[in-house]
A and B are shown apart, each in its own frame.
Chain A
Amino acid sequence: MSEPSRADAPTPGLAAYLGTLIVLALLALVLTPVLWAVLSAFKSRADIFAGDVWPRRWSLENFDELLAKTFYLRWMVNSLVVALASTVLGLLFCSLGGYAFAKFDFPGKTVMFWVVIASVSIPAFTTVIPLFGWLAKLGLLDTYIVLILPFAANAFGIFLMRQYAMAVPNELLDAGRMDGAGEFRLYWSVVLPLLRPALGTVGVLIFIASWNSYIWPLVMMRSDEMLTLPVGVATLKGDQLPEYGMLMAASVLSSVPIIIAFLIMQRQFIAGLTQGAVK
Chain B
Amino acid sequence: MTMFDRRVVLAGLAATAAMPAAADAQAPTKITYWAWTEHVAAANAVKGEFEKQNPGITVEVVNLNPFDLQDKFLVALAAGTGGPDVALILQRRFDGYLPTGGLLDTTSAMAPLKESFPASVYASLGTGGKTFAVPYDQNPAVYFYRADIFEANGIKAPLETWDDVVAAGRILAAKGIFIGHVSSPSGVPGVANLVQYLQSRNAQIFTADGKLIRDNKLAQETLQFYFDLARKEKIVFESRNNAPEFFQAIKDSRIAGYAVPAWAVFRLQKEAPEHAGKWRVMPWPKWGKDQPPTTGAWGGNVLAIPKSSRNKEAALKWAMFIGANELTQVKIWQEGHLVPAFAPALRSPELLKGEAYLGGQSIYEAGLKDRTLNGFNYFDWAKAEVIIGNQLDLMFGGKASPAETWAEIEKQLASQLGR
Contact = CB atoms under 8 A, between A and B. Distances in A.
A and B touch in the complex (CB under 8 A): yes
Interface size classification for chain A = 35 or more
A15 B33 CA distance: 64
B240 to A, nearest CB: 14
Interface of A: 45-46, 48-51, 81, 85, 88-89, 92, 128-130, 132-133, 135-137, 139-145, 148-149, 184-185, 188, 218-219, 222-226, 231, 234-235, 237-242
Contacts of A88: 12
B15 A49 contact: no
Nearest to A128: B75
A108 B311 CA distance: 50
A222 B17 CA distance: 19
Contacts of B372: none
Given A49-B247, A241-B266, A145 B37 contact: no
Interface of B: 1, 5, 9, 12, 15-17, 19-22, 24, 32, 36-38, 60, 62-68, 71-72, 75-76, 78-82, 84, 242, 244, 247-248, 251, 263-264, 266-267, 270-274, 336
Contact of A235 (B16, B19, B65, B84): B65
A85 B15 CA distance: 8
Given A144-B21, A218-B71, A224 B63 contact: yes
B37 A136 contact: no
A51 B19 CA distance: 45
Give the dominant DSSP class at B's interface.
Answer: helix
Given A46-B272, A136-B79, 11 more contacts: A46-B270, A49-B247, A49-B248, A144-B16, A145-B16, A218-B71, A218-B72, A224-B62, A235-B63, A239-B36, A241-B38
Contacts of A144: 16, 19-21
A219 B248 CA distance: 35
Nearest to B81: A136
Contacts of A231: 65, 68
22 contacts: A46-B273, A46-B274, A49-B251, A50-B248, A129-B79, A133-B79, A133-B82, A135-B82, A141-B82, A142-B20, A148-B16, A188-B5, A222-B62, A222-B82, A223-B32, A226-B22, A235-B37, A237-B65, A238-B36, A239-B37, A240-B263, A241-B263
Contacts of B19: 81, 143-145
A219 B37 contact: no
A50 B22 contact: no
A231 B69 CA distance: 11
A50 B249 CA distance: 9
B15 A132 contact: no
A136 B270 contact: no
A218 B75 CA distance: 11
